Amino acid sequence: MEKIMTYPVVIVFTPFAIIMTVGFIVCAALLGAWARSVTVSRPPLLVSNPQRVGKLPVMGYNTWNAYYCNINETVVLETAQNMKALGLLDVGYNYVNIDDCYSEKNRSSSGDIVANKVTFPSGMKALTDKIHALEFKAGIYSDSGWFTCQLYPGSYLNEDRDIKLFQDWGFDLLKYDNCAVPFDEIIKEGMVGKFTRMANAIKKLSEESGKPPLVFSLCQWGRNEPWNWARTLGQSWRTTNDTYPEWSAITSILNQNSFYSWASDFYGHNDLDMLEVGNGNITFDEAKSHFTAWALMKSPLLIGTHLSSITQDTLTVLKNTEIIAINQDPVYGTSISPFRWGINPDWTYNATHPAQYWSGQSENGTVFMLLNTLDEPADMFFRLVESPWTRAGRQYSVRDLWTHTENGTAVRNFTAKSVPAHGVVALLLKDAGDEPAGTLPPCSTLEWCMGEDGTLINP
């Protein structure tokens, strides 16, 4: 066996080596401390948020469509009283919202928005106290720019101040408009950033005050595709330009929203704009179509007609509790969506003849909306399995949500006879068990329909 030789090892530390070694140890220690601090300070994922608001679409009244700038505290209070007397609160309309033109043209010497001394002499807190005493919530209006659309003070650069004022005044909701945009060299933000300023102010105030945040309704007319980003900021977002009381406005808005109906869900809703039911020359059938589409697409439902002279037909539309129940469904928050465009090829963009055949889920069954966009009555036919929410080989009981009647059982298909011009049929289909044995053809959809022996059923 060879003898193992051993030698002493001598380590020499030069000044350079000492500096590098110490530097490495210090850097490693700092990096470790930073990593630990990042891990500790990262906010936990919130499973639930007890302060979250706006799960379901807002229902209520907004002053703009009926009164424009001709508002005062008497008008607002009488509107709330009429809503209660007419039973609108009982069916879910629980917000009374004040739109533009309620303030003085200039802020106070301390920088606050001031309620108009002539039209709102009692002040906003006194008014919201009366609204709350009637069991309603109250909404207010402002703008993300220098001024509102009617050139009253906007909230740009005053977001924290204004949202605190609105909360102190007793308001529960803020409608936030998109006029008087600051020059680019001043704002240095796009559409998302401009509305994020107020969203951050609302969140900050809620955290500091311990009170629920105001419901935030973004009114930016569908600019920059808010259905892709506004959910992170507020509870509803306008998807189009303003509506007006004509059938052409209803079909245009419905057409545009057919392409992003998927975006509505709990805590975030496509806002198709305020209701025009009871206004202009909209017919009874057009009003039913308008209300059905807005409600089933999970838009906020904000009345905007003169309640002191409201007709029974208008009340019949606004108080359809079976339609409202779909809008306020606690189980499914998603909108109905088109499954067939009808007179146009699918996915056709047509402002006068939008998609006609729609369906969606509800806690009590599958909802169908059949919209006749023609200027004459028409039969409307569909196969049940065209909707993704119905099953093959099953039959369904049919509930008409406007006649409030049970209309038998549908097997494989359904035809609505003589739907009025510009009219609507709203149905709730519930599973009623297996379809009758031997129903032919063997498949309701013949594409690749095949027996277990390999027999292909050709369409």
Dist CA 386 CA 444 (whole Å): 10
Q: Sort strands 95-97 and 137-143 into parallel, antiparallel or unpaired.
A: parallel
CA-based nearest residue to 426, from 444, 454, 403: 403
Active-site residue flag, 184: no
Token pair belonging to 432: 């009623």
Cβ 433 vs Cβ 384: under 8 Å: no
C-alpha to C-alpha distance for 328 and 356, rounded to whole angstroms: 23
CB proximity list for 50: less than 8 A, separation 6 or greater: none
CA 277, CA 313: separation in Å to the nearest integer? 10
Q: Nearest-CA neighbor of 144 among 193, 80, 104?
A: 193
C-alpha–C-alpha distance, residues 455 and 436, integer Å? 22
Pick the catalytic residue: 99, 143, 172, 177?
177
Q: Which of 112, 129, 160, 242 is catalytic?
A: 242
Tokens of 343: 């007179």
- Separation between Cα atoms, residue 71 and residue 76, nearest integer Å: 7
How far apart CA 77 and CA 129 sit, in angstroms, is 11
Determine contact, residues 174/141, Cβ cutoff 8 Å.
Answer: yes
Region label for 454, one of left (φ > 0), alpha (ψ between -120 and 50) or beta (otherwise): left
Mode of pairing for the β-strands spanning 449-450 and 456-457: antiparallel
Q: Across the strands, what pairs with 427?
A: 368, 400
Q: Among residues 272, 270, 390, 369, which one has the least CA distance to residue 323?
A: 369
**Nearest-CA neighbor of 67 among 307, 392, 264?**
307
According to DSSP, the residues that pair with 338 across neighbouring strands are 358
Residue 242 is a catalytic residue: yes
User: Catalytic residue numbers?
Assistant: 177, 242
